[in-house]
A = this chain, B = another copy of it.
């Protein structure tokens, strides 16, 4: 039994630090690396890529809307010509830096508002899919478990990898509980670790109403943007390994 753990990395910007990339790279099997549009400057990205290479962690392009001040979390009405080219540009830039670090970009995971939008918005989803295909059809796309995006991507010939979120509650329908609902974000590391073990072994989690819901996920997203988040990721990994689940990327690391 095995599962992938992924985390958002390379999100520092010049003098501004974010997260503890070195710590997270010892815990996860896949690194979603910022590409400069929502976060990340080239020198910082390159440092993260070199650490990922050294740790044998697989690298993905964490593409985003062009919005540094908003950290890519604000919805933007980007037209198809721009969105396609913006995604291609970011993947290409990360591929260049990855080559310099001796590693390879293996997948694309959109970030923030773009991630949420293309899970359901077919126009923007098809723009991102087209951008990936035009740049490198061998790249996987990491997408929200249960979202229509998975089908759209597979229909276009991409390998689409479903992802669950370690610290988020699920509805009985298998969708994420909105952050506005109390209980949407889980803070108990033990509980989160147990949930992810059950997800990895049985393919189910307990929904917010107590029912059991099936979540098809090849990868689990853990956060590393605070000391508490790093500790939660550590516990998730430890619980999985203790139970005999292998943490490994869904693709070869390089």
Does A111 reach chain B (CB closer than 8 Å)? no
- Residues A28-52 near B (CB distance < 8 A): 36, 41-43, 45-46
Q: Give the distance in Å from the alpha carbon of A80 to the alpha carbon of B86 in the complex.
A: 27
Q: Give the distance in Å from the alpha carbon of A48 to the alpha carbon of B97 in the complex.
A: 23
Closest to A17 in B: B16
Q: Give the distance in Å from the alpha carbon of A78 to the alpha carbon of B75 in the complex.
A: 8
Does A227 reach chain B (CB closer than 8 Å)? no
Q: Give the distance in Å from the alpha carbon of A77 to the alpha carbon of B114 in the complex.
A: 12
Which residues from chain B contact A79 at a C-beta distance below 8 Å? 74
Which residues from chain B contact A134 at a C-beta distance below 8 Å? 99-100
Which residues from chain B contact A14 at a C-beta distance below 8 Å? 68-71
- Residues A76-93 near B (CB distance < 8 A): 76-79, 81-82, 84-86, 88-93
- Contact sample, A vs B, 23 pairs, CB 8 Å cutoff: A12-B16, A14-B69, A14-B71, A16-B16, A41-B82, A41-B85, A42-B85, A42-B86, A42-B89, A43-B82, A43-B84, A43-B85, A70-B78, A75-B76, A85-B100, A89-B93, A89-B97, A91-B96, A92-B94, A92-B95, A92-B96, A93-B96, A99-B134
Interchain residue pairs A-B with the least CB separation, the first 8: A92-B96, A16-B16, A42-B85, A100-B134, A42-B89, A43-B85, A93-B93, A75-B77
Known: A41-B85, A42-B86, A43-B84. 18 other contacts (CB 8 A): A15-B71, A16-B18, A36-B89, A42-B85, A45-B85, A68-B68, A70-B82, A75-B76, A75-B77, A88-B99, A89-B97, A90-B96, A92-B96, A93-B96, A95-B95, A99-B134, A99-B135, A100-B131
Out of B67, B88, B97, which one reaches A42, CB within 8 Å? B88
Residue total for A at the interface (Cβ-Cβ under 8 A): 47
Which residues from chain B contact A213 at a C-beta distance below 8 Å? none
Which residues from chain B contact A70 at a C-beta distance below 8 Å? 14, 76, 78, 82
Does A207 reach chain B (CB closer than 8 Å)? no
Does A113 reach chain B (CB closer than 8 Å)? yes
Does A177 reach chain B (CB closer than 8 Å)? no
- Residues A177-214 near B (CB distance < 8 A): none
Which residues from chain B contact A99 at a C-beta distance below 8 Å? 88, 92, 134-136
B96/A88 in contact, CB under 8 A:
yes
Does A13 reach chain B (CB closer than 8 Å)? yes
A74/B77 in contact, CB under 8 A:
yes
Per-residue CB contact flags for chain A residues 107-146 toward chain B (1 = under 8 Å, else 0) read 0000001000000000000000001001110000000000
